[in-house]
Structure 1
Amino acid sequence: MRVLAMLHAYPPAHNAGAEWAAHSLLRELAARGHNVDVLLSQQDAATDAYEIDGVSVYPYRGKADPSRWMRGDGRAQAIVTHLENTARASVLGELNRIPVVHLLHNTFEKSKSWLVKGSPSLVVYNTAWMKADAEAWWRVHRGDRPMPWGITVHPPVAVEDYQATPGDRITLINLTVEKGAKVFYALAERMPRRKFLGVIGGYGQQIIRDDLPNVEIVPHTPGDRMAKDVYARTRVLLAPSSYESYGRVAVEAMCSGIPVVAHPTAGLMESLGEAGIFADRDDLDAWEAAVKRLFSPKVYPQASKAAAARAAGLDPAAELDVWAAAMEGVAKRGSPR
């Protein structure tokens, strides 16, 4: 099977959750012997072609880039896409009669609208709650026609890729307002004797403060260095996001037995399960109390054990089998049009 993934950016240069989720799926296909190429649309995403985990990645050169995968010996049997590339990939798939697969990472109206306009052969939802949300949306807006076939594959996180011995920092990854930077800095002000670690994110307007002596800010960190450079320094991970469809970094942290204090978004509640420690992002007193409690020698071991067990329980093997079988079926059936 030859697969073309049309994406805007890709690891290791771009390390947002959606990109690592996409890579985890694509490298699984490559590991099973399939030919997987990624074509980037951002001009500054890469300068040269490269390979990562068996996946070949090609930089943007011009608008004609996809043509080599549309016909001839190199013709793709399926196009995988997400986010800002969904529209173009859907149009190219229809014009060239190549089935298109949508990876959905959010419940935004723009993303769901392409379930109608793009007529994908397969939709991959990153959580059960997102699939339910899309189904409810479809009943209201397009109840007169069948919904595109969809499966749920939680962003695959291999425990061994992120295991480390926890450190002593209270950490936030991606210092934007939406991810909870204000909560992070407010806690640092309230807890001056505790060490805080802020990791610059791969997207969004970063809020950087240099007026707090107990806060260290480190650069954007590639995924393959997160265990050593971030989780090995972290005792508690903060996830005070206003929106998370899943919360990949929370699961990564749990692989090291790092407890996560989180705002109860639907995605974080699904990913963290009973191991999560939840507090409303607007209730700073609750956040301070939750974090301080995790520094108790009696509380932390139990919370750490629960986190590690939850990470182990999210073993992606079964869902990756479903993903691979679904993609092979899409390629075999071809375009429905």
Structure 2
Amino acid sequence: MNIVAIFPLYLPWRRAGAEVMTHALLRGLADAGHSVQVLVIPEVRRDSVLPLEEVCLDGIQIKVCTIAQLRAIFDGSRSIDVVISQLGASTTASELARSHQAKYIEVVHGDDPRAYRNLIACRPDLTIFNTRLLRDFFMTHCGRSEVFHPPVSPDIQRTHKGSHVTLVNLREDKGVGLFRSMAEQLPDIPFLGVVGGYGIQETDNFPENVTIQNHTPDMRSDVWSRTGVLLMPSKSESYGMVALEAAASGIPVVSNMLAGVREAMGPSAIYLHLKDLEAWRSQISRLTIDPEYEREAGRRALARSEYIHHKHLSELTQTIHAIESLA
């Protein structure tokens, strides 16, 4: 099959959960013997400017182009069997798929209004959701569907954990305010704030026990090797990929009571009400001063990481078979 993926942003320029998930799927398709090309059209996003260049990542050609160049590529192609898209590129991608008699696949990463509009307007032949939660939410608005969770390879992430209490992505909606408050209340505990790859990041006005780590593609060396506890006080998460990355090293996870994180971590994380600051302070303190409590929390996290990894491999196979059945 000749497969073309059209995205507003992609690796290596942006490394968020959506890009990591779709790249794992595309790698699986390429490994299965299919021709896969990624075309990035940043002009559909007002906040994104990328150089018009071409790179190769894990054997997949990735080309940044304008919408006019994208249309010319389609017009010059003999046969395109499947078009895959997500987020802001969906309308353009689905139109090109229909005009070139290709099947269209929409990848859904959240329950925002744009995702709903895309499902209604683009009429995908197959919809791939990143969680069961999302598929259940959109069930009445989609036809054929699969669930393919964002992948985490334990072998790539695993390291000897450190001692910092860590927050990844210093945004307001990711809980940077609670992170700052905990650092102020627990001045003898080292905290690590990791700058995320998107959105407005808060990197100033932290107490002296907070270290700021710039955005990094090497989470294993720069983040997990320094982390003893991961905080996830987010207001929303479609899935807890970063929690599973930490869990691969047996790092305990303390999270807001979010369905997306529960789907990733099951009973293996510690769940707290977001507004119960005393409970957050108490858990952080106990995990840093009670070795047996920390070890048990770490063992649960590690076991969950292995379970989800094996489950993901079967999901990849099932999703590839669903895509192949479209031809």
Percentage of identical aligned residues: 33
Q: How does 1:155-234 map to 2 (within 5 A)?
A: 155-222=150-217, 225-234=218-227
Query: Is the Cα–Cα contact under 8 Å of residues 194 and 215 in structure 2 kept in the other structure?
Result: yes
Question: Residue 274 of structure 1 aligns with which residue?
Answer: 267
Residue deviations 1:59-83 (CA, integer Å, cap 9, x gap): 124523243235533x321111111
Q: How does 1:241-256 map to 2 (within 5 A)?
A: 241-256=234-249
Q: How does 1:108-119 map to 2 (within 5 A)?
A: 108-119=112-123
Residue deviations 1:274-310 (CA, integer Å, cap 9, x gap): 1011112222111111111212111011111110100
Shift of 1:270: 0.7
Q: How does 1:3-22 map to 2 (within 5 A)?
A: 3-22=3-22
Question: Residue 301 of structure 2 aligns with which residue?
Answer: 307
Q: Distance in 1 between matches of 2:189 and 2:83?
A: 48
Question: Residue 131 of structure 1 aligns with which residue?
Answer: 135
SS of equivalent residue, structure 1 residue 178? helix
Query: Is the Cα–Cα contact under 8 Å of residues 188 and 209 in structure 2 kept in the other structure?
Result: yes
Question: Residue 335 of structure 1 aligns with which residue?
Answer: none
Residue deviations 1:193-230 (CA, integer Å, cap 9, x gap): 111111111111111124411111111111xx111111
Question: Residue 35 of structure 2 aligns with which residue?
Answer: 35
Question: Residue 65 of structure 2 aligns with which residue?
Answer: 60
Question: Residue 314 of structure 2 aligns with which residue?
Answer: 318
Shift of 1:162: 0.8
Question: Residue 252 of structure 2 aligns with which residue?
Answer: 259
Question: Aligned letter for 1:58?
Answer: K
Question: Residue 144 of structure 2 aligns with which residue?
Answer: 149
Residue deviations 1:152-205 (CA, integer Å, cap 9, x gap): 111121111111111111111110011111011111101111111111111111
Shift of 1:85: 0.8
Q: Count how many residue pairs are aligned between Structure 1 and Structure 2.
A: 319
Q: Choose which of 36, 49, 68 in structure 1 pairs with 2:54.
A: 49
Q: Choose which of 265, 282, 292 in structure 1 pairs with 2:285.
A: 292
Residue deviations 1:231-263 (CA, integer Å, cap 9, x gap): 111111111111101021111111111111111
SS of equivalent residue, structure 2 residue 173? coil
SS of equivalent residue, structure 1 residue 37? strand
Q: Distance in 1 between matches of 2:255 and 2:292?
A: 21
Query: Is the Cα–Cα contact under 8 Å of residues 80 and 100 in structure 2 kept in the other structure?
Result: no
Question: Aligned letter for 1:21?
Answer: M
Q: Distance in 2 between matches of 1:266 and 1:70?
A: 43
Say if 1:162 and 1:19 are closer, same or farther in 2 by CA, change over 3 A. same
Query: Is the Cα–Cα contact under 8 Å of residues 168 and 196 in structure 2 kept in the other structure?
Result: yes
Question: Residue 46 of structure 2 aligns with which residue?
Answer: none
Residue deviations 1:94-121 (CA, integer Å, cap 9, x gap): 2222111111100112202221211101
Shift of 1:42: 1.5
Question: Residue 91 of structure 2 aligns with which residue?
Answer: 87
Stretch of structure 1 that moved more, 186-195 or 59-68: 59-68
In the alignment, structure 1 residue 26 sits paired with structure 2 residue 14: no
SS of equivalent residue, structure 2 residue 105? strand
Question: Can you give the 5+ residue segments of structure 1 that lack an aligned partner in the other structure?
Answer: 333-337
SS of equivalent residue, structure 1 residue 22? helix
Shift of 1:47: 4.4
Say if 1:95 and 1:179 are closer, same or farther in 2 by CA, change over 3 A. same
Say if 1:218 and 1:151 are closer, same or farther in 2 by CA, change over 3 A. same
Query: Is the Cα–Cα contact under 8 Å of residues 199 and 218 in structure 1 kept in the other structure?
Result: yes
User: Normalized against structure 1, the TM-score is what?
Assistant: 0.91
Query: Is the Cα–Cα contact under 8 Å of residues 126 and 145 in structure 2 kept in the other structure?
Result: yes
Q: Distance in 1 between matches of 2:135 and 2:75?
A: 30
Query: Is the Cα–Cα contact under 8 Å of residues 105 and 125 in structure 1 kept in the other structure?
Result: yes
